[in-house]
Structure formats: structure tokens, C-alpha cells
Amino acid sequence: MTTGYITHALCAQHEMGAWHPESPARLAAIHDQLIASGLLPYLAECEAPEATRAQIERAHDAQYVASLRARIPQQGYVALDPDTLMNPHTWLAALRAAGAVVEATDRVLRKTWRNAFCAVRPPGHHAGVRRAMGFCFLNNVAIGVRHALHEHGLQRVAVFDFDVHHGNGTEDILAGDERVLMTGFFQHPFYPYSGTGQTAKNMVNVPLPAGTDGDVLRQVMHKVCLPRLTDFAPEMIFISAGFDAHREDDLGQMAWVEADYAWITAQLMSVADAHAQGRIVSTLEGGYNLSALGRSVTAHVRTLAGL
């Protein structure tokens, strides 16, 4: 059983200006490190299809999706917020990013792959039911979760989000959906300043102060996240894999290193092995220091591949 690696060239065509940290160079940095590490030949590569309207509308309001599509510029940029801009390729890139998670879900549930990593952008975890924000347009992970529930008939699916920012869009879509348990940690107080108030029972958020290192991360995993995941006994785990909690990443102020990403991945694999036949689909969220991003994704994917 192999680990899938799914991406699409169009994901590098979406860009928001030379100043913007969420850049096409991120995917190149990941690809380069997977080659340099010798890992790429061991992965099953696949090109992402486009997500369908029906798949997208399981997570997003139809009017929002239509308005997003209508605002795609012929040239230049359209800004949805100061940090979230569309260029002429954004819509097609977003369709491929969401389609990657759907395709990976199909392949893992059909046992073609043991698990998978989707190297895609734009990222998704800040995109809510009817709102783009924080570099995100379509919520790739939530679209994948709903696909697993609706198309494959799963009853319990977990989402683990380890991006340095709270996955407020994923929470917006999945809060109250008792078929889903969402857990993970994020820096707080910090953008998008959510995740600590009254949340739904299926949201197990762990806000952490700036400067948190791998030791605290291990304690939180053992005390909070792993027991909740084990109690829930998910049939599949999705990972919102952001790498901006790395100590070299300037968009967050956490102190994680590659070994921490490998450790979290191994813990989630243990839960998946115990309850979910090993089924994990991980998708890229943040991570903006190109060198740290490439190294951290390599540590994550190497662990997923058992190498």
C-alpha cells in the first residue's frame, strides 16, 4: 500500500502579487525537497481532477460559489480582503485543490492508496460556508470530509488541524455536524482571533500561546487530542497540514521543528491504524518559510509513507 502525492500545475498559476507569502514558490519548494530527499520515487503521483459543483456545495453556499466564480478577473487581481486576491487562474486552481482532496479520499477509501498528501494551493481552512478569507476560497478539507460522508457512507470522520492559525472556516462548515470531530491546536491570541469562545461539541480546539515548543505540543496531544480522537474512533482522518508553526516561519511565533511534524503525524497514524484502517488524507494549508516548509512537508510525508 502506497502513499499518494497529488497536485496540479494549475495550483501554481494562482498568485496574489510578488509581495504575497502564499506564493507558487511554496509548491516548488515542497517538490524540490521531496526530490532532494529521495522520497518522491516512493510516492504514487497523481494529477488532481476538478472538484464538481455538487462536491463543493456540500461545504459551501451555492450563491457564494457562484459569486466567487463571477468575480474572477480577466486580468490583474480582484481583492476579497486585503490578503485574499483572485487572479485569472484562481478559480481553476481552487477547483483542482478541492478536487485533489476528493480524489485522494476516493483512492484511500478504495484502498488504492494507504494514505495521501495533497500538495495544493490555494489553501482552504479559513474559507467558510459563504466567505473567502485568509488566502482561502474553497475549504478543501471540508469538501473532502463531506465527500467521505456522503459518497462513501462513512459515519465518523476526524479533522486534525495543526496550522498555526485556527481553522475557522472548517469550524464554520463542520460545527454541529456530529459525524465529524475536529481537533488540533493553534496560536492564540492570533489571526483569525477565533476558536476560544463557545464552540460546538464536535470542536475540540486547543489554543496555545506564542512560543509553544514541541514539548508542550506533546503534552497537549497526550492530554487532550489523542484521548478525544480515540473516544471518537474515526473511520478516517483528514489533516489540515499547515507548517507555519515552524520556528523559522515568520507568519507565526511558535517553535516547532521538523521532528515535531513527524511526531504528530506518527500519532495520528496510530489512531488511524487502530480505528480507521490507516486511512489518512492530508492537505497543505499554511507554511511560508520556503526552506522550513520543504523540510517539514518531507518529514510529514516520509512518516506517512513509513520510510
**Options 60, 126, 275, 300, the catalytic residue:** 126
Q: 104-131: b or e for each residue (b if 16 or more CB lie within 10 Å)? A: bbbbbbeeebbbbbbbbbbbbbbbbeeb
Q: Which lies closer to Zn ion via its Cβ, residue 278 or residue 286?
A: 286
Task: Give the Cα separation of 169 and 286 in Å (integer).
Answer: 14
Task: Give the Cα separation of 279 and 238 in Å (integer).
Answer: 9
Q: Which lies closer to Zn ion via its Cβ, residue 57 or residue 83?
A: 83
State yes or no: residue 242 binds Zn ion (CB under 5 A): yes
Task: Give the Cα separation of 289 and 283 in Å (integer).
Answer: 18
Q: Which lies closer to Zn ion via its Cβ, residue 225 or residue 272?
A: 225
Half-sphere exposure of 240 (CA within 13 A, CB side): 37
Q: Which lies closer to Zn ion via its Cβ, residue 43 or residue 132?
A: 132
Rounded to the nearest 10 degrees, the angle between the axes of helix 90-109 and helix 140-151 is 40
Query: Has 222 been annotated as catalytic?
Result: no
State yes or no: residue 163 binds Zn ion (CB under 5 A): yes
The only residue of 14, 114, 165, 166 in contact with Zn ion, by rule CB under 5 A: 165
- Residue with smallest beta-carbon separation from Zn ion: 286
By CB under 5 A, which span of 159-167, 206-214, 224-232, 295-303 interacts with Zn ion?
159-167
State yes or no: residue 286 binds Zn ion (CB under 5 A): yes
* Count of residues engaged in binding Zn ion, rule: CB under 5 A: 5
Please say whether the dihedral angle defined by the alpha carbons of residues 294, 299, 303 and 306, taken in this order, is positive or negative: positive
Q: Tell me the catalytic residues.
A: 126
Q: Which residues bind Zn ion (CB under 5 A)?
A: 163, 165, 242, 244, 286
